[in-house]
Structure formats: C-alpha cells, structure tokens
Amino acid sequence: MQKSMMSASQMNWDDLKFFLEVARTGTASSAARRLGVDYTTVSRRLGTLEKALGTLLFERSRASGFVLTAEGQHLLGYAEALESTLQTACEQVSGASLALSGHVRIGSTEGFGSYFVAPQLGGFQAIYPNIAIDLLPVPHFISLSRREADIAITLERPERGPYVCSRLCDYALKLYATPEYLQSHPAIRGVDDLSQHSFITYVDDLAFSPELLYLECIVPNASSSLRSTSIVAQYMAALQGRALAILPCFLAAPDTRLVEVLPDQVKVIRQFWLYYREDLRKLKRVTLVADYLRGCAERNRGFLLGETAQMVIV
C-alpha cells in the first residue's frame, strides 16, 4: 500500500474505534459483535483507515486472523491513549451527571465472581442505577491489555504493567464432603487417613494458576476420581457424595449439604487481587466499582476466611 501524508483533519476518528476492537479481539467478526455491526462494516472501516494513513495496519490470514503490523502496533498505543483521554475528558467536563453513569466490565475468577461478587452488585446498582456492569466470572485469566475488562480480580498480583493494584482480600479453602459420604467411607481422624479417599480437584496441566494446585501439598499423590478446570463443577460434583473436595469457604460453607472435614487440620489461605489500568484511574465509574468491591470484601472478612457461613450483603 502506497504511503501518503495526511493531516489530522482528514482522519475519521470514529474509524479508530473499529481499529481498536479488531486489535483487541483478533478478528473482524468478533469486533463486529462487540460493536453491534456486521462484518462488512468493520472491514470497510479498517480499509478506510488504512487508506487514509497510507499503510497496512493488519496482516490478514485464515489461520491467525488479524495480526497487527509494526505500523499497527505503533498506532495502537496512540489510539488507546486517545480513547482513555476522551473517556476521562467526558467525565471531567460533563460533571457528576455523566460521571455516575456509563459502563464497567469486571473480569473475575469463576467461583468468586459467581458466588461473592454477583450477589454484592445489587447494592451497587441500587446506589448507582445508571452505571451498567458486565460481570465475567471465568476459569481463566482476563486480559486488561486487550481490554477484555476494565477491572480484574485474580489470584496473583500482576508482575508488570501500568496498573493500579491492591490486595482485595484473603480467603480460605477447607475440605468438604457430604454426610452421606462420611458415613459410607473409612473414618477420617487425621490427615494421614486422607490417602484412603478419593478427591475432586483441578486438572493439573490446565489449571490457570499455580495457586490452585493445593491438593498435592496436603495429600501427596492423592487419588482423584474426577478433575475439572471449573471450581463450580467441582462443587457440584462434591454434592453428589462420591468424593472429597477442597473448596472455597465462600462457596461451600453456606451450603448445609456439605460439612467441613478436619477443619483444624486442613485449611488453605489464598488471596484475591483487584487491579485496573493506570489510564482508568481518573474514570469515576471505574473507581466507584473498585472501591465498592473493596468495601464488600472488608465487611465480609470473616465470611471469606471461613469463620462464619453468613455473607453480608448491603
């Protein structure tokens, strides 16, 4: 594609929105779904932008989709900075009315997102009804750099990146079983007895974080009757009464169909970290959601640590 010089006034800034979505999703079809348009519209807008800039922004292939060229990578940084600046400017200029509206997407681990964050969000929406929230409770990492979410809640603190990060909470996991299981299997008086039992646990090589591989530390070479990448699936399987499972207390403790096994001997403590991109620090709707979640975690410290089975909901 032949390069040509252009002025800022010649660019259709709206085309950058299409460029950003394709860069983040890797395909025009995925970008089209997120933007609520059809594939041809995305393709056409990209072509218009590339023609205006006089350069190729993506390498296109059936196997790998849309891959940024060196020029596309260079533009991405500027486009994301412009996007963040525009969002911040809208809030600052328009005042409180717009600052308390908009859209925030939260990416969270599956169990915590489903069984703790989701119940808490009703209180937030009662206070801020004009802030729409997407909650993504998934058994894998959420990429903030690809704009999959605005706020991430993960098991590990990010090692690098321009993030505003804080330790959200500690939480406990304990060993659980149904009363029926305990009545029909060998007695469990201590940790040594666990070698006679079968467990429901993670698929080791597919666990998205090493923080999830706690069973091996408690019961080396434990027998696993069922493994799953989903903590919710493990919980549902444990309810069937055929094996033991180490589960988060915030998920299992409120369920009277499960009982703690060796509560004074088997207890795992892990952390959740909350973070968002540095360029969103001045977006009021993002900081409101982050502060609210931190408050919910603090009020539920005992619940998350397994000291009480009752969750506090505002």
Residue 1: predicted pLDDT: 46
Question: What 8-state DSSP symbol labels residue 193?
Answer: G
Cα–Cα distance measured from residue 275 to residue 278, given in angstroms and rounded to the nearest whole number: 9
Residue 11, class by beta-carbon neighbours within 10 Å (0-12 exposed, 13-18 middle, 19+ buried)?
middle
CB atoms within 10 A of CB 115: 19
Interval 226-266: pLDDT, tens: 999 999 999 999 999 999 999 999 999 999 999 999 999 99
Are 244 and 194 spatial neighbours (Cβ–Cβ below 8 Å)? yes
Q: What is the pLDDT of residues 124-134, one digit of tens each?
A: 999 999 999 99
Length of the chain: 314
The pLDDT-based confidence of 139 (bands split at 50, 70, 90) is: confident
Q: CA–CA separation, 20 vs 72, rounded Å?
A: 10
In degrees, to the nearest 5, what angle opens at C-alpha 266 toward C-alphas 263 and 268?
115
pLDDT tens digits, residue range 141-155?
Answer: 888 877 789 999 999
> Who wins on pLDDT, 9 or 138?
138
pLDDT in tens, 2-27: 444 454 556 677 888 898 888 878 88
- In the predicted model, what is the mean pLDDT of residues 49-73? 87
Q: Which residue has the higher pLDDT, 148 or 294?
A: 294
| Higher-confidence position of 68 and 120 | 120
Domains of the chain: 8-94 (1.10.10.10), 96-169+271-295 (3.40.190.10), 171-270 (3.40.190.10)
